[in-house]
A and B are shown apart, each in its own frame.
Chain A
């Protein structure tokens, strides 16, 4: 797995960490998904989804993972 794709996981996790800290657990995944939708190019979303499908995204945090599922 390439280093650049690994960065996507790091980025998604960072975003999830921020929205998690906002204190409303039910909203964290939704807001993370929205942020990714607003700021990531479709290609990046697709790559990360591919990685999830291929089981290559173990490092993804639960909230980031939940968010990505909403973006399928």
Chain B
């Protein structure tokens, strides 16, 4: 393996379709109109010297190194800023140019330290390369003049270092922060010779607006901005393309290695989801893979009161198998089940559900998607016929109106948020429907046209009100509806939303949003051009989650906003492979590709392939498994890569369910909270240690490539396979590609997918089959997957979770940029620099009423339980609403959340809990005892 290098063409590709032919250095070259001379030269293999240009950014023209001569034109124009023209004759190397370039380089080098040999960028420095390219042999100005050589280094950011002594003030970092990331954290302070890069107001990176995405580091041509790991370890020598294991954006990276040590993750320009960009998590927060707390050896114990005993893999696997066999013999075959992980690969997920259906002989398999996007699956399948988002991410570039609902992309889907922000800066309009003033509502260069700050739990009412305006003001796209949708259903729906009780005026009291704003937003959505809806867990995690998804689908169909670029319904998936986990048949009622278990044809297909008879009835979902456990009927569970104790609602209920089981098997990287109640711990492997695929929020299947051997000995799929064998069910895969072949064989929407195809195409968006051999970027183009689009009546039903005198405030939950979900990984990285603890956001009025000041400990109580955390007073939340994240085990925000759930899928109602907030003086009793119990439970017996 060698280091994958991506060519830098200097300026972005031109999207023009017409072409231009010119001559460069005597050679004719044809390129798209609008391309720069630099790019055209690069295309024919000629690298014009450059410093301030890079193809991730628009040309800037400041370094004057890329000068060329053009026949018939005076002077020496910069090739990065000069567009090509037909018949142009360009010379890239002449004595005059050579002299000019040398002169420029001399000036740069006269104020640059000459410590190349000990510089971290040695071997990967464009300044060094250019000195070579222009033949720099002397610096006539000497090094004694006024200089920046003693400027102090800023190492405040844990992941990269800023050494201004090496800066050539090319502004690439500033432009990357603006154009690519959209944060505008950097500027050039001062001017002339005194200019220097400044985060914020000439302060440290860590205290500035910087969100540590790394775009500036990637853009920097010198060692000025360098990954701290490169400084520590040295330059990498080989690399592989892989996919981020954090969120559903699915950024691809070059994992750059030195031996088996990961040096850095560099976003891959060819990555179709991220187009060369990244966020702090994928780029930097991978240190957990080698964190000292990672458990590398299997462990068992008879009771959760005992300390763990380290055992061999053989013993752990055979112990588990015999426990499951014993339990099934005693309590019946339905008394065990398992949970697949949205963090693991498609192949691993597929294997776990196969293990359960074929070796446990029941359908008691569920996945963490239950608690996030299961309503998306149900809602979109019902209305469109396919359980997935309709677009690719590129589609946002054609969008005129974005409607963002119950999602906080800048924190949860940062790389896609950067693309949204870029489109918004180009003039697209924005509607935000969210109880909280998320950053997209207002942040540098971004301002939502409408922010409908509704009361938590009133999504359906809000969407009905918008639909009311569209229908009653004649904004329906009738041609589209007539051609593409079921008319009878439409008329039924239209009559429903047109009812006076669904008008914005009538629903004002319910949603708390002024009718005028709702009407204006509805008009904008219906008439503003290409309109796309982006939504997140603020839509799904409600008792009416599925209804809300269908209401969204209704709006898109009614306005004709499905089936072309720039429009669509786009669920922003939380975890890296939540789409994949759902696709792979992780739900108790569905086989891979969303075929119902009662469908005899599908069942027999699998049965024949697997050599078993599959149960025709749906199995238990996670909450039902826990209920059954409490009832004494469910006794054993195999949990791969999920911390249900921390992530699932009503922690006490989950704990009671787990405690009632006789064999809880946790397969994970760390002793997570669930493991405190487990009897078997099987060490998991990280995405760096295995081959496989993840499927992102745009249905894009991408490769995960192994760059180091599993420190725990086995990839997760190998562990599942060992367990299946120990249970007497044969599995004999040598490589995950064979599992993918089986998936393709059994799943029509994956029929054309294989590792070879993935290697050839880079990535594939399902469905991929005979009719779409390269995959399907946009769905429902000519017709809906189900034939005619189906409108569904979406009546608003208030949740049973109501505020009252005891619990007068509504709690809603979310996440922040630097942490990921329960934080098992991110808390074990330097990301802790940005988020030390979960805070409760509370409006100044509510805080004052309770005598709470910022930073005070407060007690947060609901009818499910209570916890304590510190308060942060902010008007981001409306009066009556409080908000917190759920990243830290000590807070356990889910002690508070209740077990109300979505009517169709049981997806928990995380986003609405009635609570009371009062002043506290530190953690509540159970938090203290929990912390003690947890650390007791984590004891590992010393082995000889």
Contacts and interface: CB of A to CB of B under 8 A. Distances in A.
Nearest to B795: A21
Contact of A17 (B620, B900, B903): B903
A18 B550 CA distance: 12
A68 interface: no
Contacts of A15: 903-904
B334 interface: yes
A49 B628 CA distance: 15
B366 to A, nearest CB: 10
A41 B547 contact: no
B792 A11 contact: no
Given A38-B589, A41-B618, A44-B620, A18 B904 contact: yes
A38 B596 contact: yes
Contacts of A38: 589, 596, 598, 618
A41 to B, nearest CB: 5
B121 interface: no
B492 A14 contact: no
A55 interface: no
Interface in B609-658: 617-621, 623-624, 626-628, 630-631, 633
Give the interface residue-count category, chain A: 20 to 34
B494 to A, nearest CB: 12
A44 B624 contact: yes
B906 interface: yes
A41 B903 contact: no
A14 B793 contact: no
B630 A41 contact: no
Contact of A21 (B364, B793, B901): B793
Contacts of B627: 4-5, 7
Nearest to B550: A18
B471 to A, nearest CB: 16
Given A4-B630, A21-B795, A11 B618 contact: no
Interface in B586-602: 588-589, 596, 598
B620 A11 contact: no
A11 B906 contact: yes
Interface in A19-49: 21-23, 35, 37-44, 47
A44 B334 CA distance: 12
B620 A7 contact: no
Contacts of A39: 589, 618, 621, 904-905
B628 A23 contact: no
B387 interface: no
Nearest to B489: A22
B492 A23 contact: yes
Interface string B541-563: 00100010000000000000000
B630 A22 contact: no
Contacts of A17: 797, 903
B542 to A, nearest CB: 12
A21 to B, nearest CB: 4
A2 interface: yes
Interface in B886-902: 899-901
Contact of B620 (A14, A37, A41): A41
Given A7-B899, A21-B795, A22-B793, A41 B904 contact: no
A30 B386 CA distance: 24
Nearest to B495: A23
Given A11-B903, A14-B543, A17-B797, A41 B596 contact: no
B9 interface: no
Given A2-B630, A41-B619, A23 B793 contact: yes
A4 B794 CA distance: 28
Interface in A46-60: 47
Nearest to A12: B903
B733 to A, nearest CB: 29
A43 B792 contact: no
Contacts of B630: 2, 4
Contact of B624 (A2, A22, A41): A41
Contacts of B910: none
B364 A41 contact: yes
B496 interface: yes
A25 to B, nearest CB: 13
A57 to B, nearest CB: 16
Interface in B823-874: none
A38 B377 CA distance: 14
Contacts of B588: 41
Contacts of B905: 39
A39 to B, nearest CB: 6
Contacts of B543: 14
A18 B794 CA distance: 8
Nearest to B362: A41
B871 to A, nearest CB: 32
Contact of A40 (B547, B618, B794, B797): B618
Nearest to A8: B627
A22 B792 contact: yes
Contacts of A44: 620, 624
Contacts of A41: 334, 363-364, 588, 617-621, 624
Contacts of A21: 793-795, 797
Contacts of A2: 630-631
Given A7-B899, A14-B903, A43 B334 contact: yes
Interface string B45-59: 000000000000000
Nearest to A24: B492
B624 A18 contact: no
- Ordered nearest first, which 7 A-B pairs have the shortest CB separation? A14-B903, A21-B795, A4-B627, A41-B620, A42-B617, A4-B630, A41-B619
29 contacts: A2-B631, A4-B626, A4-B627, A4-B630, A7-B623, A10-B800, A10-B900, A11-B901, A11-B903, A14-B543, A14-B797, A15-B903, A17-B797, A17-B903, A18-B795, A23-B492, A38-B596, A38-B598, A39-B618, A39-B904, A39-B905, A40-B618, A41-B363, A41-B364, A41-B620, A41-B621, A43-B334, A43-B633, A47-B631
Interface of B: 334, 363-364, 492, 496, 543, 547, 588-589, 596, 598, 617-621, 623-624, 626-628, 630-631, 633, 792-795, 797, 800, 899-901, 903-906
